[in-house]
Amino acid sequence: MTTEVKWNIQGTLLQGCNCAYGCPCNFNALPTTGDCEGTWSGLIDQGSYGGVDLAGLNFTIIGDWPKAIHEGNGECQLLIDELANQQQREGLLTILKGEAGPPWSILKNTFSTYHEPQFVKYETKIDGVNSSVKAGDFFHLEMESIKNPVSGAEAFPGVVLPQGLLYKESTRASTKVYRASGKINYEYSGTDAAFSPFSWGSQ
């Protein structure tokens, strides 16, 4: 019998996908083009896995599903901050592979393939809807504000999801650069991006 390790991580989640602004999946509608090419990149402000401190570390979940996420058969590429030591790498991978409970134990059901995790150098800028993250040669996201199509004025629509798995509130943005490279490859701009606080844990 195993005792569950207590864990908790909080921070900022930067998200991009191939859907139109707002991403219909937030509302339990189907993805704009029928499939989901979505990535979440997090920067941990504070948190730990067991006694292992995880503050200050970055991670990325690159996902690619042939249909809506909940219809499964997805591929996943995990990226972990190269600054993480061995214990931190193990803790983060346990969380992100869905072996330590929600949210990733739920998303795990939608992945049929996990590619070999990569440990990479991160350059992260947290600045609301102008945030960006570059994770080695595997992932690059730069976001910018959505613009009103008539006036050109910046718009900052928010989506609030009290039952949301990954985040409860988000400010929607536009991808300016959105590129996954490696085992999973895609590239978009002018699609949905989001800036959200996240808080995940075992209690």
Q: Which residues contact 151 (CB under 8 A, 6 or more apart)?
A: none
Question: Among 155, 181, 183, 189, which residue sits at the site for other proteins (rule: CB under 8 A)?
Answer: 155
Which span (9-17, 92-100, 149-157, 180-188) binds other proteins, by CB under 8 A? Answer: 149-157
Q: Which residues contact 193 (CB under 8 A, 6 or more apart)?
A: 14, 15, 16, 17, 129, 141, 143, 172, 173, 174, 175, 178
Question: Among 134, 140, 172, 179, which residue sits at the site for other proteins (rule: CB under 8 A)?
Answer: 172
> Closest Cα to residue 176, out of 147, 151, 135?
147
Is residue 30 near other proteins by the rule CB under 8 A?
yes
Question: Among 5, 8, 10, 21, which residue sits at the site for other proteins (rule: CB under 8 A)?
Answer: 21
SS (H, E, C) 125-176: ECECECCEEEECCCEEEEEECEECCCCCCEECCEEECCCCCCCCEEEEEEEE
> Which residues 58-117 are close enough to bind other proteins by CB under 8 A?
68, 70
Token pair, residue 100, equals: 């330590």
Question: How remote is the C-alpha of 190 from its chain's centroid?
Answer: 18
Question: Among 66, 115, 156, 202, which residue sits at the site for other proteins (rule: CB under 8 A)?
Answer: 156
Question: Among 2, 51, 149, 203, which residue sits at the site for other proteins (rule: CB under 8 A)?
Answer: 149
Please, what is the minimum distance in Å from the beta carbon of residue 39 to other proteins?
Answer: 19
Please, what is the minimum distance in Å from the beta carbon of residue 81 to other proteins?
Answer: 31
Which residue ranges make up the site for other proteins (CB under 8 A)?
20-22, 24, 26-30, 32, 68, 70, 146-150, 153, 155-163, 172, 192
